[in-house]
Structures are given as structure tokens and as C-alpha cells.
Structure 1
Amino acid sequence: MMNLDNEAEELASTLGVDKTEVKRDLENLVSYSVPLEEAKQSLRRKYGDGDDGSGPEPESKDLAEITPEDSNVTVTGRVLSVGKRSIRYQGADHTIFEGEIADETGKLSYTAWEDFDLEPGETIQAGNAGVREWEDSAELNLGESTSVEKLEETLQVPYEIGGDAALIDLEPGDRGVNAEVTVLECDRKVIDGRDGETEILSGVLADETARLPFTDWDPHSEIETGESVRIENTYVREFRGAPSVNVSEFSTVETLDRTVEATESAPRLSIRDALESGGMFDVEIVGDAIAVRDGSGLIERCPECGRIVQNGQCRTHGQVEPVEDLRTKAILDDGTGTVTAILDDELTAEIYGGDVDDAREHARDAMDKEVVADAIREAIVGRSFRVRGTLSIDEYGANLNATDFAAITDDPADRAAALLSEVDA
């Protein structure tokens, strides 16, 4: 991890200014993801030092050799994709360009803090490119001190050019992505944005491979429920543990003259493979219910925010008059791993055999709310279920917020054989 104190001391000494002030400015720039070398160069300009800070030409490296420990490098590669979006630092909007670049050995993401007029498919040599750690990997940073030369000879690389992608292949951190999709759901909302109240679109996109949530930060009229569209220059963020497509003011949206078929099914994975994905918006797993966790059955929620309350106390709203609800937190195991499936009131009512009113009466007759959770345990523990929903993973574990929860009657021997063949593969 960079030592900003040492960097500030060296820079202050060179510039002949107060270290405290330089460190404050340096920390501010770096906190807004400005690469260290670019931040230092900005401060040199601010305090009037004419040195461009370039020094000797950095070492040339293959992309596969570059690590976050590298400071500055020179690379030759082919531009795979180019995205454009706006970020804000020091109270001002700044346009950046980002995507992926590749050579014969591998590919890396990049951020260009200046407009180098990059186009997908171009072969370039980038001299004095900065390197930082981003999403646990190295990322190239192209700025004022970077020289970019476009080469006539085309570098052959084992990657697709242009940024077109299927939804199933998208991961948080992807930039410059193009997708052809159908709009399954689309709602217009007003949120508190960085410039006050902001109108956005949000909903669900689908193609033949998967479904993903989206947010359009600059509502495009072409994005409407039921429309098939091509969206260019999107970026992907993590939302509730799963990839989410983000459409910006720099994105282009075109209505297609064909219908993009939306997949009706979700990818079916073993629990282990689902967990290794890091989170999925729509996934299906099959497993045995081995336990029902505490916090299941007849529960109480805050009427304001919907959070669980204890003894009438909401962590956000204090003392409230709680609203009763049904919920199930079932632990599922398929032999490769475990996950907690969370069932809402409707799915819980199906397996419990009654609604909230029935559960309330059941608990009142027994003078114990736990009888509702016990009835749910008796109904599902030891049985096999097919579960579909959104998988999110955080420091508290893996939760599958179920949209479907169905008992299965497959022959256990057949399922075991199928699982073993998947594990062996």
C-alpha cells in the first residue's frame, strides 16, 4: 500500500512548500481514485514546478507480467473496448475513458484520464502508464504524463474486439460493454442524487442467456418495458452482491428491429459454483433442506423500513408498533456447499399451509410464536427443493432470496449420480 506521508514529504521538499498542505491535497486526489502519479503531477502544476516528472522511460512489460506493485510501465497492446463516463472529484465533474486492452499474454482494464481518442481494435504503445490496484487486480492508468502512439501494425490477440457481451458473461467492474437485450421491467423513480433530486430508470434486462438488473442514470426514451434494444457503452457495478448494468449519459440506446428472446430459465449451478461466482441476480440450485434458522416463522417488522424489530425496537426508528410477517430462512446443502434460502411471506405461506392470520392464531393458541417455525421445520427439513432467486454474498454469509421454492421428486440416486459427474468434471 502506498505511503502517502513519504510521497508528500518528498514532493513538498522538491516544491519547497509545506508538507501538511501537500499531504492534504494528495490524500484528497487519491481518495477520488486519481492515480498517484497523476495526483503528484497535478500538484506540481498547482505549486508552479515545471518538471514534468517523467524521468527515464519505464520498463516495457507484457500485460500478464504487470502487478499492482508496478509503478509505471510501457505497454504495447490492442484496445478491446472503450467506455466513457463522468465521475466527480474535488467538487467538479471529470470525464474519463475506460475499457480493456490486450496483448498475446493477457488483458487488463485501463482508465484514461485524458482523451487519447482511442478506438476498439487499434494497436497502441502506451509509454509511462501508471499502475494501480483495482478490483484486486492491476489496472493501467493513462494520464497527462502518458504518451500514446497508435501503431500501423495490428497486434493479434486471442480476445473479441468491441465490447459486445452476453448478460451471462458480465461481471462487476466491466466497462465499455455493449448488449442487445429486452426490457422485462422498467420503473421511473426520483432519488436523491449528487445534484439533488434525480430521475432515473431501473428494472430488469434479459437476453437469451440471463437476466440482470439495470439503472439508467440519464433516462433514455428507448428503454421501455417490452422493447428490444441495443445499449452501447455501459458499465457494470455490484448491486446487492450481483452484477448490475449501468446506463449513463454517454451510453447510446437504439431500438432493434428484432425481438431479443428473454430466457425463461435461470442457470442451474451447484452451490459451490454459485458461491464462487461471487453473487448472481438469477440462479437456480437444488439441495436438501437440513435446517431452519432462527428468525423464521412469525416475525415482526418495522412499519417504516421493513427491518426486523426486537421487543418493539427498530434500529433505525426506535420504538414502533410492529407489523407481523412470515419468513423462512432454510439452510440448503447439495454436497458441494451450503446456502441460506430466504423465503418471503407468500412462499412461506405455501409451505406452512396458512397465512399471517393463521400463524398468529396458531401462536396465540399455543402461547408460543416458535410453533410456527417448528411447523415449517417439520414441513421441509429432510426434503429436497429446487430454489431460484438472487444470490448475494457478504461478510455475514451467502443468502439466496428465493423467487421460487419447489419440492422435487427426482430419484435421489439419479441426483447423486448427476452431482458426482459434475464434481468430477
Structure 2
Amino acid sequence: MSLDKVVKHVVSVVGEEYEERVRTILKTLIEEFRIPEKEAAATVIKKFKEEGVQIKDATKKIADIDGSETNVTIVAKVLSISKGKGKAKAFARVGDDTGHARMILTSNAEVELEAGKVYRFKNVMVNEDGSLLVTKNTTARELEEDIEVKPLTMIGVVVSVAKNSGHVLRCPECGTPLKGGACTEHGKVEEPVERVEARVVVDNGRVARRFTLLPEHIEALTGLTLEKAREIKNKFDNEAVRQVIIDSLIGKYVRVEYLNRVPQSIEFTTEIPTEVV
């Protein structure tokens, strides 16, 4: 990252009238004292704030984040959350109408997030790789509005179909798959929810991702309806149902558009496998 780029970012936060002073301070911190650029930028912003300068929110769209910013504000929808490890208490995937980003919640972060909700994040750090760092200084205010999130696209080959795929019976109360006609939470179920599902892995040669295919996906790709799946299972077993899905999907190239593990759309393709975009 160049000095000019760091100066541009800090000036966007404190104001153009301070550009000459900002450049002088940053040049001293970075070139003479060898302070890392992002740390130097944060130091200068803090200094101006302590002097009473009105700090602007560097509001950004996700697609515009380039890895040089500190003190960034974004409005994004939380798509998924997973448990963290080490110095990260959680990982999240967030998105807006321009793209997606990985979010890392540090162990001292005080925000609590829920998948599916939209938040206004303030004082977000940005790592060099474009991932977002939520620290103790970050705030997240839930918004009532919803935003349309641009889906990710992946083209790859289906390499596996999980063993529990096929004709699935679920508890109508909690959605848990039944074992021996019973739910681990609600006991024996008299009228389960029947679905044709498949958990598949798509690999593009660089990354492999797991997706859960719903009845509409499976019928479109394989022609397998709930009635057909029920008939096959009654005549043979669920492994026979799974085998129909395997024969139709394994080794085939697909184009997947998705926000999380459930695709918004999936179709066969002759396109060359690509990285997630």
C-alpha cells in the first residue's frame, strides 16, 4: 500500500482541509518510525478525534473495500455465523447488493449477531485480504430494513452425495431428521414431513463447497419427485433413492448461485469451472 493511498483514506475520514498535515504525520510514522500503515492511519484518526475534529463515517459498499481502510462503516446482512477459534470468537459471512465478505469477530468484540438480520457496522477494521475485523471498538446496530444481497456464483463438478441424502422424514415441529420414526427432541412422530433432499459437494479444482439441495433442485436436475422417491424407497430402501441422485449428479458440472448452503439456483453447465465470484 502506498503512502498516497493511506493519506487518501485518512483524509476521507477527517476532512480534505487536513490533507497536508495528515501527509506529514503519516510520512513520519511510516517512514521514520516504521509503524505499519494501518496502525499509523488509526493513530492519526484517533489523534484528530481527540482534538475535536468531527470524524466522518467512511461508509463503504463491500465491493469497494480494498484492504486499506480503518474506521469503516458498512450496512450488511449476516448470511451465516460459525463458531470461532483462537483469537476469533466467531466467523460470519456478510453481504450487500455489491458482494460478500468474511467477517471475523475478535475475542473482545462486544457485538452479538444473528443470521438473516441487517446491521449497520461502525468502526470496522479491514484486513489486507478484504476480510472485516470486528473488535471491541466496533458497534453493530440492527436495522429494520432488508437488503437484497448479491448471490455468489460457483461453477464446478459434483464430487459426492452424502449418505443421509434421498427420501428424508423430518419432525414437523423442529425439522430434525427422524431416526426410526422418532425425533430426538419430540419423540415418536405420527405424521412426519416428507422431502427429497441431498447434501452434495461441488469442487472447482481450487475450493470445495457443500450445498443442500431441496426438492425443487433435485426434481429439476434428476426428475426425481417425492412420489417416485417414496415408491423406490418402499420397494427397495433409501440407498436406492440416493443412488438415483448419485447417477444423475456425480461427475456433472453445475453452476450454483447461492448466499449460504442452500442454492438460490443450480443447473447443469458446460462452462469451465471458476473460483467463487
Contact 1:215-1:247 within 8 A present in 2 as well: no
Q: 2:159 aligns with which of 275, 278, 290?
A: 290
Shift in alpha-carbon separation, 1:248–1:81, aligned structure 2, 3 A: farther
Residues 224-283 of structure 1, C-alpha deviation per residue, up to 9 Å, x if partnerless? xxxxxxx684879xxxxx989x8627x8x9xxxxxx9x78xx5xxxxxxxxxxxxxxx32
**Cα offset for 1:179?**
4.5
2:199 to 306, 329, 336: 329
| Distance in 2 separating the partners of 1:307 and 1:175 | 43
1:165 Cα shift?
A: 1.2
Following superposition, the deviation at residue 214 of structure 1 comes to 5.8
One-letter amino acid of the structure 2 residue matched with residue 402 of structure 1 = P
Change (3 A) 1:80 1:405: same
Match of 1:402 in 2: 263
Q: 1:166 to 1:176 in 2, by over 3 A?
A: same
TM superposition score normalised by structure 2: 0.56
Counterpart CA distance in 2 for 1:301 and 1:106 is: 53
Aligned residues with identical type, % of pairs: 23
**Shift in CA distance, 235/320, structure 1 to aligned 2, threshold 3 Å:** farther
| Distance in 2, Cα, partners of 1:178 & 1:326 | 42
Q: Which runs of 5+ in 1 are unaligned?
A: 1-77, 83-101, 109-117, 126-147, 153-160, 184-203, 218-230, 237-241, 254-259, 267-281, 392-399
Question: Where does residue 346 of structure 1 map in the other structure?
Answer: 216
The change in CA–CA distance for 1:123 and 1:301 in structure 2 (over 3 A counts) is closer
Give the partner amino acid of 1:215: K
Instruction: Trace 1:260-275 onto structure 2 (pairs within 5 A).
Output: none
Q: CA deviation at 1:401?
A: 2.3
Distance in 1 separating the partners of 2:207 and 2:50: 50
Greater strand content: 1
Q: CA deviation at 1:346?
A: 1.3
Secondary structure of 1:336's aligned partner: coil
Indicate which of 229, 232, 237 corresponds to 1:359.
229
Partner secondary structure for residue 233 of structure 2: helix
Which of 1 and 2 has higher RCO (CA within 8 Å, sep 6+)?
Answer: 2
SS in 1 for 2:47: strand
SS of 1:107's partner is helix
- Counterpart for residue 47 of structure 2: 124
Counterpart residue number, 1:91: none
| TM-score using structure 1 length | 0.38
Task: Give the whole-Å Cα distance in 2 for the aligned partners of 1:177 and 1:162.
Answer: 6
- In structure 2, what is the Cα distance between the partners aligned to 1:312 and 1:179? 47
Q: Deviations over 1:390-425 (max 9, x none)?
A: 34xxxxxxxx32221110023xxxx37xx6xx8xxx
- Given that residues 156 and 204 in structure 2 are in contact (C-alpha distance below 8 angstroms), is that contact kept between their aligned partners in structure 1? yes
How large is the Cα RMSD of the aligned pairs? 4.8
Determine the C-alpha separation between the residues in 2 that align with 1:296 and 1:360.
13
The unaligned stretches of length 5 or more in structure 2 are 1-9, 15-25, 31-35, 78-93, 102-114, 126-130
Aligned residues of 2:176 and 2:183 also touching (Cα < 8 A): yes
Q: Are 1:286 and 1:384, in contact at CA under 8 Å, matched by a contact in 2?
A: yes
- Letter aligned with residue 223 of structure 2: G
Is the aligned partner of 1:106 residue 2:44?
A: no
Residue matched to 2:99:
210
Mapped to 2, the partners of 1:232 and 1:289 lie a distance apart of 37
| Number of residue pairs aligned between Structure 1 and Structure 2 | 203
Contact 1:177 1:234 in 2 (8 A): yes
